[in-house]
A = this chain, B = another copy of it.
Amino acid sequence: MPKIVDHEQRRTQIAEATWRVILDNGMEGATVRNIAKEAGLSLGALRHYFSTQNELLIYAMNLVKERVTERVNKIVMSDLPPKEKVVSILMEIVPVNTETKAEMEVWLTFTFYSKSKVDIFDHVNDGIFQGIQKLMTLLEMNQLLKKNVNKDIEVERLYAIVDGLAFHAMQEPQRVTKEWIHSVFTYHLDSICIDDE
């Protein structure tokens, strides 16, 4: 079905053009007209792939999420020991390189913009809370969690640490470096897990 693949490829290209427009001009600049121009398409051609601006924005945002999920799944399938696996996964969802920084910036811009547009926001949830619940379950199933640990609070706490660090890495990249974030995650995991022998 080469036709369908082409269609999806073109939709992906348009989504990527949308990210570039958002990164350059913010959400206000993310008009169908500007996106078509960035993608090198006529307005009519763009409408062939996405009939409304909302449809396009939701697709573009979900694609960010899919790419992160893909990277995370690769680590999930790897044979790293559980604690290192968790740290590696956490490192994929904080902005520590050009790619993840752009993802985070697009995501934040979008979240912020869509606050007043509930119809879009309802469609997009970054899934990080649910992901962290799974990571905590992974640690629990491997009997790595300390005895006195409250799992619900630990999920909330790690979720806050992830988004807090992500936010600070965007604001202060010189101070909140990749290495420093890695140290904080490792320290945090060590604090809730039983000692390695």
A residues touching B (Cβ–Cβ < 8 Å)?
26, 28, 108, 111-112, 116, 150, 153, 156-157, 159-165, 167-168, 171, 176, 180, 183-184, 187-188, 191
Contacts and interface: CB of A to CB of B under 8 A. Distances in A.
Contacts of A168: 159-160, 163
A159 B153 contact: no
Identical subunits present? 2
A104 to B, nearest CB: 12
Given A164-B164, A165-B160, A187 B153 contact: yes
Contact of A164 (B162, B176, B180, B191): B162
A157 B28 contact: no
Nearest to A121: B171
Contacts of A111: 171
- Most chain B beta-carbon neighbours within 10 Å: one of A116, A160, A165, A183: A160
Contacts of A26: 116
Given A153-B183, A163-B168, 13 more contacts: A111-B171, A153-B184, A153-B187, A156-B176, A156-B180, A157-B184, A160-B164, A161-B161, A162-B164, A163-B163, A163-B167, A164-B165, A167-B167
Contacts of A171: 111
A130 B162 CA distance: 20
B159 A164 contact: yes
Nearest to A148: B191
A22 to B, nearest CB: 13
A187 B112 contact: no
Contact of A112 (B112, B160, B163, B188): B112
Contacts of A163: 160, 163-164, 167-168
